[in-house]
Amino acid sequence: MAEVLVYVDHVDGAVRKPTLELLTLARRIGEPVAVHLGANAEDAAKILGEHGAVKVLAADAPEFAEYLVAPKVDALQAAYDAVSPAAVLLPSSAEGKEIAARLALRIGSGIITDAVDVEAGDEGPVATQSVFAASYTTKSRITKGTPVITVKPNSAAPEAAPAAGTVEQLAVTVADSSKGTKIVSRTPRESTGRPDLTEAAIVVSGGRGVNGADNFPVIEALADSLGAAVGASRAAVDAGWYPHTNQVGQTGKSVSPQLYIAAGISGAIQHRAGMQTSKTIVAINKDEEAPIFELVDYGVVGDLFDVVPALTDEVKTRKG
């Protein structure tokens, strides 16, 4: 059976959920071989094996942390040369897409980014994408070389599929030309204790209607009652009420959780582009004409400062 390379997104060996989703999708095309770059491959291998990785190609080099992106492309290319895979899957993060693009160019292959589904097809993997602010769904495939595909988080439910997950060391030579962009310093983001926005099953977002940074705890309280991530519209971020890393939309993060709750968000096209693929959409807004109501499964026309706290209390009561 053909092998499929899966690029592992992790923080010091703690594998992030989108990678497990990639393994699930990879099994539709062939045998997943994970590529783990950086420390603690043994820790990662355990969970990667549980999700179907027959093999974990591991490499650790100081250059991965010292320089931006390019050394990781060298490593993934080494893995590609070692395996000759049927496809290469990466997460659709900023870094994942950049690595994918450079790898595709090097190995003479086409690239598809932001797939929301991947299936086996007669002429190679077929990727589904959601385009034009999710108003269209396209099916695409790669016609030259080995398909390189990046996949959005929450595109598949990770399935357990025990496999060997044997760790093999991958020999990597980082080219001098890959040491062009120095990472002078790195400040890990402080954990809020909430789920990661792109990975969360539930997202609660606040917008212009939240009317100030001081009011965002109302949104956070609802999120915490549901075990959800907190998002913000561009208007709220531009006003300085919430960090840009939480921005949902065309220029922020694209999310597709099981449940998306928009509070005080009118639903401009740019915001819709980032959340329209959410499975269930709920909105709370004073303005009954707000375009967000065109998208909702359930909408409440009302003041979010009445509705959200009442909902939070009700969730807490029901959860006991």
Identify residues 188-217 at the interface with another protein (CB under 8 A). 188-189, 196, 198, 202
- Is residue 288 classed exposed, middle or buried when 0-12, 13-18 and 19+ CB atoms within 10 A define those classes? exposed
Stretch near another protein under the rule CB under 8 A, chosen from 26-34, 35-43, 138-146, 212-220: 138-146
291 binds another protein, rule: CB under 8 A: no
For residues 110 and 168, give the distance between their C-alpha atoms in angstroms, rounded to a whole number: 28
Which of 101, 107, 161, 239 binds another protein (CB under 8 A)? It is 101
Tokens of 167: 């760790």
86 binds another protein, rule: CB under 8 A: no
135 binds another protein, rule: CB under 8 A: yes
Here's the x/- map for another protein, 107-126, by CB under 8 A: it reads as --xxxxxx-----------x
Kindly state the smallest distance separating residue 2's Cβ from another protein, in Å: 20
Q: How far apart are the first and last CA of the chain?
A: 50
Kindly report each contact of residues 244-252 with a partner whose C-beta sits within 8 Å and lies 24 or more positions away, as own/partner: 245/189, 245/197, 246/197, 248/197, 248/203, 248/205, 248/274, 248/275, 249/273, 249/274, 249/275, 250/133, 250/274
> Considering Cα of 244, then 249, then 252, then 253, what sign does the dihedral take?
positive
Q: What one-character DSSP code corresponds to residue 103?
A: H
282 binds another protein, rule: CB under 8 A: yes
Which of 1, 162, 187, 193 binds another protein (CB under 8 A)? It is 187
Residue with structure tokens 């969970």?
A: 47
265 binds another protein, rule: CB under 8 A: no
Nearer to another protein, 162 or 318 (CB): 318
- Residues forming a β-bridge with 220: none
Give the residue among 51, 137, 171 at the shortest CA–CA distance from 10: 51
8 binds another protein, rule: CB under 8 A: no
180 binds another protein, rule: CB under 8 A: yes
Give the residue among 71, 66, 41, 75 at the shortest CA–CA distance from 56: 41
Nearer to another protein, 50 or 95 (CB): 95
Nearer to another protein, 164 or 269 (CB): 269
Nearer to another protein, 81 or 294 (CB): 294
236 binds another protein, rule: CB under 8 A: no
184 binds another protein, rule: CB under 8 A: yes
